[in-house]
């Protein structure tokens, strides 16, 4: 099967890391396409960034659906912890679409009672809390904390992000009684192994989790329901700079 993993920001270095994490858990015979759109923000750290990452993301979904000649895409991962554009993506794609925030949380609640999210900037805590509540896990998430390192600096050793995340995770485990830690950014995927070793509790990278969930859903031959809400969007004219998003009947 072929899974398209979409990094919704425009930074290829991050796309590479994400692709690596997805491939590490993919089963035999699963091909991972890791991509990012050419339009939109370099990183996603505000509601504004997130909203404007969605057009590029949807373009990637549409491209994936049109790729049937070259083998087609069986399912998609949205590799940003805000799960941007998830509902719209589900309208477009025939196969399953899974966001890394939802996947990580689903995995967490099967591994213990409680989890904590450690994320990047404190201004994104609210969005994480919205998702926790929306997915039904408000009783299970004991805290959301932020290391206040920008997304594109996570990787830079000078930011000290890995250590900061470890400290926040320890606090969540000891003070908040978190049974596991959910990494709150696709850019933290490379911290997962080291943190797992050091913390002694499950540390969950959403990229891996979403890849695993999509694989399982595809193998079960399950796809998004087209009953009503998630049926294909209606044909419609789009204007101006977004005219290329018009849908024909």
Written as six digits, the tokens of 231 are: 């049926």
Pick from 107, 147, 161, 188: which binds a copy of itself (CB under 8 A)? 107
Tell how far CA 87 is from the center of its chain.
Answer: 13
Total residues in contact with a copy of itself, by rule CB under 8 A: 101
CB of 162 to a copy of itself, least distance (A): 19
Pick from 156, 175, 194, 231: which binds a copy of itself (CB under 8 A)? 231
Written as six digits, the tokens of 178 are: 């978190």
Written as six digits, the tokens of 189 are: 């995927």
Could you say whether residue 88 binds a copy of itself (CB under 8 A)? Answer: yes
Q: Which of residues 181-210 bind a copy of itself (CB under 8 A)?
A: 196, 200-202, 204-205, 208-209
Output DSSP code: residue 113: S
CB of 158 to a copy of itself, least distance (A): 19
CB of 54 to a copy of itself, least distance (A): 5
Could you say whether residue 4 binds a copy of itself (CB under 8 A)? Answer: no
Q: Which of residues 109-148 bind a copy of itself (CB under 8 A)?
A: 109-114, 122-127, 129-130, 133-140
Could you say whether residue 235 binds a copy of itself (CB under 8 A)? Answer: no
- Binding span for a copy of itself by CB under 8 A among 36-44, 63-71, 161-169, 183-191: 36-44
Cα gap 32→10, rounded to integer Å: 18
Pick from 7, 119, 120, 180: which binds a copy of itself (CB under 8 A)? 180
Could you tell me if 134 and 99 are in contact, meaning their C-beta atoms sit under 8 angstroms apart? no
180-183 and 141-146 as β-strands: parallel, antiparallel, unpaired? unpaired
Pick from 78, 98, 161, 186: which binds a copy of itself (CB under 8 A)? 98
CB of 24 to a copy of itself, least distance (A): 9
Long-range contacts of 149-154, Cβ-Cβ distance < 8 Å, separation of 24 or more: 149/120, 149/121, 150/43, 150/45, 150/120, 150/121, 151/9, 151/14, 151/43, 151/44, 151/45, 151/120, 151/121, 151/185, 151/187, 152/11, 152/14, 152/42, 152/43, 152/187, 154/120, 154/185, 154/187, 154/188
CB closer to a copy of itself out of 69 and 241: 241
Q: What distances in angstroms separate CA 192 from CA 189, 206, 207, one per listed residue?
A: 6, 10, 11
Pick from 13, 16, 27, 68: which binds a copy of itself (CB under 8 A)? 27
Pick from 70, 234, 248, 249: which binds a copy of itself (CB under 8 A)? 234
Could you tell me if 206 and 131 are in contact, meaning their C-beta atoms sit under 8 angstroms apart? no
Q: Which of residues 44-63 bind a copy of itself (CB under 8 A)?
A: 45-52, 54-56, 58
Beta bridge partners of 97: 76
């Amino acid at each position: 099967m072929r899974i398209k993993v979409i990094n919704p920001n425009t930074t290829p270095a991050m796309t590479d890391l994400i692709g690596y994490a997805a491939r590490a858990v993919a089963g035999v015979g699963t091909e991972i396409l890791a991509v990012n759109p050419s339009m939109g923000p370099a990183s996603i750290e505000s509601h504004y960034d997130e909203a404007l990452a969605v057009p590029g993301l949807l373009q990637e979904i549409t491209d994936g659906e049109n790729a049937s000649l070259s083998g087609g895409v069986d399912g998609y991962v949205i590799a940003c912890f805000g799960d941007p554009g998830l509902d719209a993506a589900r309208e477009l794609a025939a196969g399953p679409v899974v966001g890394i925030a939802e996947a990580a949380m689903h995995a967490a609640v099967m591994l213990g009672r409680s989890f904590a999210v450690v994320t990047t900037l404190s201004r994104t805590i609210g969005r994480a809390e919205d998702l926790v509540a929306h997915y039904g896990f408000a009783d299970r998430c004991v805290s959301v904390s932020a290391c206040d390192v920008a997304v594109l600096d996570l990787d830079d050793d000078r930011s000290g992000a890995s250590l900061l995340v470890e400290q926040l995770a320890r606090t969540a485990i000891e003070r908040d009684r978190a049974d596991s830690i959910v990494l709150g950014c696709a850019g933290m995927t490379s911290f997962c192994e080291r943190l797992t070793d050091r913390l002694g509790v499950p540390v969950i990278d959403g990229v891996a989790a979403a890849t695993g969930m999509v694989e399982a859903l595809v193998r079960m031959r399950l796809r998004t329901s087209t009953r009503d809400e998630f049926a294909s969007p209606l044909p419609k004219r789009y204007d101006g700079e977004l005219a290329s998003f018009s849908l024909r009947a």
